[in-house]
DNA sequence: AATGAATGAGTATTCATTCAT
DNA sequence: GATGAATGAATACTCATTCAT
């Protein structure tokens, strides 16, 4: 990667980081492209060299942030010494636990990806890949970790979908507003429900 | 209710219906107040006699539509002959079934309230009641039907929260885009998971 | 004055007082007729039964307030025991002193009539009299007190004009912002200058 | 100054001139930004690249016009052959005479800066300098001409304040409406009063 | 006389996008 | 690639005024 490419990447990253900062602080609707560009220290026109419009950068940001979180979670779980001996259920619960903890520690991130950590946004926003990463990369990292395909789970995609939607939608109010209860109180219910979901998909179910 | 009040109600209802039509057709961001007013056949300024701004009418609309759906579902279940003999689980499943079927038949409604059929929106948007209905009304209709309080369920509010979030978030992609599968395929998983959630809250669990 | 008339006067007075309050608090441009009416506790449409528009009430208010101040000042001076033995100069200085003191104590009033305590506003705003008072009333009260006409002063109207403009324009910044100095420091200069103006108009000058 | 800078100055000047024309013709309140932009031959949005709002351009205009007049007056007096031998009083009277004559010849200017040729507006509007000119420039030009500081006049700033306010407030009605008399008739009184003001501030007074 | 719902013209302001440099 | 001046469409919101009751 040459110097110019580096500069390009720097500008793009600067735009992404600045946009994330502004989107989480002021909201997407209330943030203008001029603001993003100014805060990123580049000219307004330059923005359009990297992104089509505000929604383009927003979508890239969501998949970038959500993907990063998933990959970090997967890596965390895979780095455990006893990962090989863990059951699929335990690996999923460890993954979810890591994600919930991460979102507790970064409420801006939670607010931003909140209910977007879902199937839909992956499908849409991943059409144009960010930094050569794409939908498949994420899916693969995820599936590989969980060895879903090997184990003949029934409707594994549906299972992942149900867990993803369940976790992301229930955590939002609990972490941000402690509604209807705080996340510590909610976690056992979430984990138990995940166990029940997985059980339905087990090969011998 | 005097003639003027009648006119007022008509205007307000006309605005709500027109706004719903436009919001679901074009999206909230892409709909201007001028458009709503024009389509409703009233002057632009008149809009502001009834709603503070676009987000005011949107929120009122969400709670109005979501509330109507819940109440309709509750009434439907309660009108069953054998409701008295149904277990709580069966009553909840009947309720969810009615809601899912309704959303299948009215995809605009689904798209609109989609992920907003949640705790947060009730709390916020119900502060100002619409047509004298308010938060408590909904909650009561709901709780009365389910007799939650009588049966010593553990954390009944958390249980409702988990079910609500789970159903609304998983139905969205399935009904609208058949992703990751169509709703008929998904329903058994949804019902089974709801059973598992309820089981965690049963008095003797 | 019958009951109905009394109500009329009350409404008008209420509007005037409310408008003064709002004009001095928020500024004339920033005050709407709806606000005035609401704060005065009457219906919007009723405003138009008493005043043509916002500028009508503003002008009536200026002349009403300025006139009241002048009359109060004249009465104060005339109530002095030794008024008969005071020279014209002394009477004018006493009058000015009373006015300056009043404006110091009511900065809202000063801000409102500020630079409007002038020839022009009397001419314009007095065309329609307020409560049957009119231009002539003020002028007469003023001239009678000062016995200007009797004493063969040269260009007495010009003299009053010069003093009026001089006092009102110089007091504004001094009282409100202590710029370029506070009013106590300025007063001797003002009085001395008034003496000089009067001297130019003395019969034997 | 590059080509773009030149264009910028031209646009700004064009806006200032157009705004002055409209403000004096129709009044500030009755002039919209759209009108100013259209009349200046630029797009509406471009206005906001140069001025914050209508009151920004109005204030810049007042100080610009008032400052220009003062500087022109100062230069005129200083260009007199015998300026060195003129007393301070004579120099001030020459200055005032030039200003009065200028305002007689440009009644729009008089109407616009009218009672604004005062301490307050200088303080406020000069905070942001126009074309690199600033408060100090004006004050210096003025004070240098009058050599006020050298001559140990008492409260020189107060003296300037009194004269400024006196002249600007008394000229307004006289020049525009010949009220209470025309300016030729008024001038001797104005000059004599200025003499009296100066005398109070003389070192040996 | 009094009301206040309804009007719709009017205006400020924003902002995505373009393009000459 | 990078810039940022210029654009002008788009839109929210206000408010004086009217008029049926």
Confidence (pLDDT) at A127: 42
Confidence (pLDDT) at D204: 81
Q: Do B180 and A123 touch (CB under 8 A)?
A: no
Strand F-proximal residues of B, range 23-82, CB below 7 A, are 30, 32-34, 44-45, 48, 53-54
Q: CA of C20 vs C1' of F19, distance in Å?
A: 29
> Which of the other chains make 3 or more beta carbon contacts under 8 angstroms with chain D?
C
Confidence (pLDDT) at C128: 41
Q: Considering CB atoms only, which of B29, B119, B193 is closest to A196?
A: B193
In whole angstroms, what is the distance from residue C166 CA to residue D169 CA?
A: 7
In whole angstroms, what is the distance from residue C149 CA to residue D191 CA?
A: 25
Confidence (pLDDT) at B95: 94
Quote the DSSP letter at residue A130. B
| pLDDT < 70 stretches in chain A | 1-8, 115-144, 148-150
E strand or H helix that includes residue A98: helix A88-105
Mean per-residue pLDDT of chain A: 84
Are A19 and A57 contacting, i.e. CB atoms less than 8 angstroms apart?
Answer: yes
Tokens standing for A201? 């998909």
Residue C126 pLDDT class (50, 70, 90 cuts): very low
Residue D70 pLDDT class (50, 70, 90 cuts): confident
Is pLDDT of D142 > 70?
no
* Residue of A118, A122, A155, A165 for testing the chain B interface, max B β-carbons within 10 Å: A165
Confidence (pLDDT) at B9: 75
Nucleotide nearest to D10 in CA–C1' terms: F5
In whole angstroms, what is the distance from residue A47 CA to residue D13 CA?
A: 31
Q: Which residues lie closer than 8 Å to C173 by C-beta, 6 or more apart?
A: C179, C180, D118, D119, D120, D161
Tell me which of A147-151, C58-62, C172-176, D190-194 is least confident: A147-151
Give the residue-averaged pLDDT of D74-90.
91
Q: How far is C52 from chain D (nearest CA, A)?
A: 18
Cα D200 to the center of its chain, rounded Å: 25
Beta-bridge mates of residue C130: C133
Give the residue-averaged pLDDT of C34-62.
94
Q: ∠ CA(A161), CA(B115), CA(B141), 5° rounding?
A: 115
Is pLDDT of C8 > 90?
no
Quote the DSSP letter at residue B42. S
Give the residue-averaged pLDDT of C39-66.
92
Q: ∠ CA(D177), CA(D182), CA(D185), 5° rounding?
A: 160
Confidence (pLDDT) at A68: 85
In whole angstroms, what is the distance from residue C185 CA to residue B157 CA?
A: 73
Which CA distances in Å does B62 have to A59, B35, B109, C62? 25, 19, 9, 51
Place of tokens 């007495």: C156
Are C112 and C57 contacting, i.e. CB atoms less than 8 angstroms apart?
Answer: no
Are D176 and D130 contacting, i.e. CB atoms less than 8 angstroms apart?
Answer: no
Q: Would you identify the CATH topology of the domain A1-51?
A: Arc Repressor Mutant, subunit A (1.10.10)
Quote the DSSP letter at residue A133. B
What residues does each domain of chain C span?
1-51, 59-200
Task: Please tell me which residue lies nearest to nucleotide E8, judged from CA to C1'.
Answer: B43
Confidence (pLDDT) at A132: 47
Confidence (pLDDT) at C174: 94
Q: Do B119 and A157 touch (CB under 8 A)?
A: no
Radius of gyration of chain C (CA): 19
Place of tokens 């923005």: A47
Q: Considering CB atoms only, which of C119, C166, C181 is closest to D158?
A: C181
In whole angstroms, what is the distance from residue A134 CA to residue A128 CA?
A: 8
The answer to whether B and A touch (≥3 CB pairs < 8 Å) is yes
| pLDDT < 50 stretches in chain B | 1-2, 123-134
Mean pLDDT is highest, among C38-42, C141-145, D7-11, D145-149, for C38-42
Tokens standing for B153? 């369920």
Is pLDDT of C109 > 70?
yes
pLDDT tens for D28-55 read 989 999 999 999 999 999 999 999 999 9
Which CA distances in Å does C205 have to B33, C150, D183? 72, 16, 21
């Amino acid at each position: 990667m040459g110097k110019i490419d580096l500069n390009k990447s720097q500008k793009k990253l600067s735009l992404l980081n600045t946009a994330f900062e502004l989107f989480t602080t002021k909201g997407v609707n209330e943030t203008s492209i001029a603001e993003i560009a100014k805060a990123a220290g580049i000219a307004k026109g330059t923005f359009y060299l990297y992104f089509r419009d505000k929604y383009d950068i927003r979508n890239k940001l969501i998949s970038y942030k959500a993907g990063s979180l998933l990959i970090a979670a997967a890596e965390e779980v895979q780095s455990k010494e006893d990962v090989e001996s863990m059951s699929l259920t335990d690996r999923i619960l460890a993954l979810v636990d890591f994600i919930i903890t991460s979102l507790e520690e970064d409420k801006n991130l939670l607010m931003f990806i909140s209910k977007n950590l879902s199937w839909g946004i992956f499908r849409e926003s991943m059409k144009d890949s960010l930094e050569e990463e794409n939908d498949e990369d994420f899916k693969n990292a995820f599936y590989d970790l969980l060895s879903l395909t090997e184990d003949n789970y029934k409707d594994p995609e549906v299972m992942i979908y149900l867990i993803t939607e369940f976790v992301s939608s229930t955590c939002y109010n609990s972490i941000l507003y402690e509604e209807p209860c705080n996340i510590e109180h909610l976690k056992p219910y979430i984990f138990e429900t995940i166990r029940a979901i997985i059980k339905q998909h087990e090969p011998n179910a």
